[in-house]
Homo-oligomer: A and B are copies of this chain.
Amino acid sequence: MADTLTRTFSALADPTRRAMLARLRRGEASVTELAEPFLAQMTLPGVTKHLKVLEKAGLVIKTRDAQWRPCHLNAEPLRDVAEWMDAYREHMEASLDRLGEYLKTVTTHPPKTEP
Contact = CB atoms under 8 A, between A and B. Distances in A.
Nearest to A92: B75
Interface stretch (A5-13, A36-44, A63-71): A5-13
Interface of A: 2-3, 5-6, 9-10, 12-15, 18, 21-22, 25, 73-76, 78-79, 81-88, 91-92, 94-96, 99, 109, 111-115
Copies of this chain per assembly: 2
A102 to B, nearest CB: 15
A108 to B, nearest CB: 11
Contacts of A96: 76, 79
Contacts of A15: 2-3, 5-6
Contacts of A2: 15
B82 A85 contact: yes
Given A92-B75, A95-B75, A13 B14 contact: no
